[in-house]
Structure 1
Amino acid sequence: MKEILIITSYFPPETGAASNRIFHLATGLEKQHFKVSVITPLPNYPKGEIFKAYRGKFKQTTTENTITIHRLWLFASNSKNKVLRLIAMISYSLSLIWFFMWHKIPNTVIVQSPPLLVAFTCMLFLKRKTRKLILNVSDLWPIAGLELGAFKMNFTYKLLEKIEYFNYKKADLILGQSNEILTHIKTLFPEKDLFLYRNYPDFEKPEITTKSLNSKKITVVYAGLLGMAQGIFKLCKSLDYAKIDFHIYGAGAEQQNIIDFISENPLLPITYHGEVSREELHLALINYDLTIIPLLNRIYGSVPSKIFEYAKLGLPVLYFGGGEGETLIEKHHLGWLADAGNYKHLNSVLQSIDKQELGLEKRAEIQQIAKAHFDFNTQLLALKEKL
């Protein structure tokens, strides 16, 4: 049985797209008869605090469904202070180096990037002639950070570019979640072995339903991270509610701002449901008419994994983020598009949608598209040939 190690910064019981992506990869490879182990920090995301059940531990190793999971210490922080965020990444990198010194590492290793510094640590300390290093790139850093306003074009940015270049150079195979990511890497390393690995979900889809929380209005739902990049607080302030009810699930930096806005505007049809488990969320989502996927700014290389998850649920999408995600929605007829950052156009599109277009026939059609084009196991079998 071939051994494979996955190194990631996010893993259940943490929630979110990054955690789900690596969990599905690990369990999928295990079902394909790989002996899988995972290295990840003690759970701390998204609040930036070690989960209560793991506090006081330096390291914990468990076996879950035959997958060995090593959880390592880090200085947890989700602070906006860049120094504290850097310390958090360095602390995990130091824990990784310590682990590498005292444990035998398999000859096949998949490394998640970003964070760039964590990936750099793995590429620097694990490169061997007999070892295959696979870099799984889910977002393009530092480019994405520049577009989000987190970085400026200065010495730090240039240093991060050098780290990014080093990581690509040392990788034997690079997995990219979008064609934009692969195009970018190919401009730097034309001969590098690349593989398009989308964030397709792997779950048993619930039965689709036409149940709606309001018989007259269109029920619109957002579920996910309530961070700066998604701009849900601004969305709450900018939506035209004449024809819709808006429901929100998730947690993140803007959470309190959203709660305060709802409290200060009790007549607006906005409901915040908090954070729920993924299974509970799926059962809730199928009761809504339409989901919205927003990005405050178009981010090169980014394709929200929600596109594929909602397609499997049969849930029509209003996409408000531009880029490759917009291309996917249009190509596969998954819903409606609004110009990124243009709230006037967003409201115009919402007003143009007829609730009758959101019924069982549309949902069944979307699920068939997901089965044909976004199948996790088909993609995994193609990846298996590369490992």
Structure 2
Amino acid sequence: MRIGLLTQWYDPEPGPAALPGMLARALAERGHEVRVLTGFPNYPTGRLAPGYRLARRHDEVDGATRVRRVALYPSHDRSALRRVANYGSFAVSALVSGTPALRGLDALWVGNSPISVALPMWFTRYVHRVPVLLHVLDLWPDSVVASGFLGTGLVSRTVERGMAAWCAAMYRSASRVAHVAPGAADLLADRGVPRDKLVHIPVWADETMGVRAADLRAELGLRPDQVVLVYAGALGEAQGLDSLVDACARTDDPRLVCLIAGSGTTQDRLRRRATAVGASNVRFLGQLPRERMPALMATGDVHYVSLRPGGMSAYTMPSKVQATLAAGRALLVAAEGDAAAVARDSGAGITARPGDPDSIADALREVCDLGREKLELLGQAGRAHYDRMFSVAVGADRVEQTLCEMVADPGFRASRRLR
């Protein structure tokens, strides 16, 4: 098949932005002709990646994949205005300069975040008559509301309603709508997406994290018997990390060390809280460079995943769940819904009630009682579960199968003959 990928994020951008590139290569290895429409790489710094110069468009070859990059406003800071400029500029450039590269496709995979990708998606769907698989990697407007970008007030509520209507139009135009967390199916159905259009395609992880790097234990002065819990990621309200700090203060096992790496709006508050409650077993590492993340992953005997209860938490699958499983490390999950279910089903995790320091402290004591060797066994079980359920190969199989079903659909084939 001739398969297109429409995504604002692509290699060499790291982290979640690298996932579309993994899909493109996996599909190309299966013999498909793959074309990618994306922007100039600038995530996460907001500056163009080395070796790139902004232009109206730029074509390149990535192995067996053809990539067209189009101009955008590089930015990834906390400014809502600049973020809108970043999203909007890519959408317009992709529509004007990118959609010709998608002509003649059999099917198109679209990463839905940001939802401004609807402009080139709709053009390709209705003008080029290409069926679309819309992969809902982030739920909008929910994720924007949770981030605090919209603020509060009448204008914010109006924007939120407009986003919801925009998303509904995207869902209607797609032949299939894929969701990454099982719980999102009911939510999308409640928002009007027909059940027969919904397909569960979990997202994969950067599997290079599974290549065990030298750890940071010696550098951090950690003893061989100490059990290390790592939280790496955003330090924001949605993560509810205050309860982790409180739980660490209530855990008196001298083997426990909690490492918190990352930055965000709550980082200063968390540091003050750790001092106030006497959580001397918590260390803040700040924002580590990407190249040190494999070493940090190897340092943790168990990795912490947390979401505040309520809101989106029941149907959210934080990407660090798959990343931890892929790295063969154990999980401690303080969240509702799908993330907790994966921790239990994989055999790699321990769960606690989100926002409950006593429950989290009980889980920390269980982690210490297991010890490093048994936690290693949990991690191995997690890696086996990742290979069965979340790997790039499994994800590409599910995407490929869904695209084939779309292309074979008699209704869509008839509509294409009417061109």
Calculate the TM-score normalised by the size of structure 1: 0.84
Shift of 1:126: 1.6
**Aligned match of 1:23:** 21
Q: What is the SS of the residue equivalent to 2:402?
A: coil
Q: How far 1:318 sits from its partner (Å)?
A: 0.9
2:360 and 2:270 map into 1 onto residues whose CA distance is: 23
Separation in structure 2 between the aligned mates of residue 70 and residue 231 of structure 1, nearest angstrom: 40
> Which residue among 362, 372, 384 is the counterpart of 2:378?
362
Change (3 A) 1:53 1:379: closer
Which range is displaced more, 203-212 or 333-342?
203-212
Whether the 8 Å CA contact 2:175–2:197 is kept in 1: the answer is yes
- Greater mean deviation of Cα atoms: 158-167 or 302-311: 302-311
Q: Distance in 2 between matches of 1:68 and 1:295?
A: 38
1:133 alignment partner in structure 2? 132
SS in 2 for 1:354: helix
SS in 2 for 1:70: strand
How far does residue 335 in structure 1 lie from its aligned partner after superposition? 1.5
Q: Do residues 108 (structure 1) and 107 (structure 2) align?
A: yes
SS of the residue 2:303 aligns to: strand
Residue in 1 aligned with 2:193?
A: 189
Among 199, 204, 207, the alignment partner of 1:200 is 204
Q: 1:220: which partner in 2? A: 229
Q: Which residues of 2 match residues 32-71 of structure 1 at below 5 A?
A: 32-71=30-69
Tell me the percent identity. Answer: 18
- How far 1:317 sits from its partner (Å)? 0.7
Deviates more, 1:264-273 or 1:106-115: 264-273
Q: 2:86 aligns with which of 85, 88, 97?
A: 88
Deviation at 1:8, TM superposition (A): 1.1
In the aligned structure 1, how far is the partner of 2:184 from the partner of 2:52? Answer: 35
Q: Distance in 2 between matches of 1:256 and 1:325?
A: 24
* Cα distance in 2 between the residues matched to 1:283 and 1:380: 28
TM-score (norm 2): 0.78
Paired residue for 1:179?
182
Distance in 1, matches of 2:378 and 2:366, equals 16
Question: Are the aligned partners of 2:235 and 2:265 in contact in 1 as well (CA < 8 Å)?
Answer: yes
Deviations 1:30-77 (A, max 9, x none): 111112122222222223333354344443322122222222221223
User: In 1, distance between residues paired with 2:79 and 2:386?
Assistant: 40
1:285-324 → structure 2 map (5 Å cutoff) = 285-296=297-308, 298=310, 299-300=312-313, 301-324=315-338
Letter in 2 for 1:83: L
Residues 165-174 or 359-368, more deviating: 359-368
Look at both structures and tell me which one has the larger radius of gyration over its CA atoms.
2
Asked if 2 retains the 8 angstrom alpha-carbon contact of 1:208 and 1:313, the reply is no
d(CA) in 2 for partners of 1:124, 1:192 = 21
- Secondary structure of residue in 1 paired with 2:69: strand
Q: Could you tell me how far 1:256 is from its partner in structure 2?
A: 7.6
Q: Is the 8 A contact 2:349 2:378 kept in 1?
A: no
Give the corresponding residue for 2:413.
none
Q: Deviations over 1:125-176 (max 9, x none)?
A: 2223741111010121112333454445721111111101000000011111
Aligned ranges 1:259-338 → 2 under 5 Å: 269-272=282-285, 274-277=287-290, 281-296=293-308, 298=310, 299-300=312-313, 301-338=315-352
**Distance in structure 2 (CA, Å) of the matches to 1:256 and 1:185:** 33
Distance 1:103 1:352 in 2: 55
Task: Work out the CA distance in 1 between the residues paired with 2:252 and 2:65.
Answer: 50
Higher mean C-alpha displacement, 64-73 vs 87-96: 64-73
SS at match of 1:175: strand
Q: Distance in 1 between matches of 2:49 and 2:391?
A: 33
Q: Give a deviation string over 1:319-372, Cα, whole Å, max 9, x none.
A: 123231112212333211222223343234213422544414333333333334
Give the Cα–Cα distance (whole angstroms) in 2 for the partners of residues 31 and 223 of structure 1.
33
- Taking the aligned partners of 2:224 and 2:109, their CA distance within structure 1 comes to 48
Equivalent-residue separation in structure 1 for 2:282 and 2:388 (angstroms): 37
Deviations 1:101-137 (A, max 9, x none): 654522321111121222x213332223741111010
Q: Aligned partner of 1:309: which letter?
A: A
Q: CA deviation at 1:306?
A: 2.0
CA RMSD after TM alignment: 3.5
For residues 206 and 343 of structure 1, the distance between their equivalents in structure 2, rounded to whole angstroms, comes to: 33
How far, CA to CA, are the matches of 1:207 and 1:84 in structure 2? 38
Structure 1 residues 63 and 339: CA distance shift in structure 2, 3 A = same
Give the corresponding residue for 2:411: none
- Change over 3 Å in CA distance of 1:36–1:353 after alignment to 2: same
Q: Give 1:247's aligned residue.
A: 259
Q: Partners in 2 of 1:225 and 1:77 — Cα distance?
A: 18
Please give the alpha-carbon distance, in whole angstroms, between the structure 2 residues aligned to 1:165 and 1:321: 28
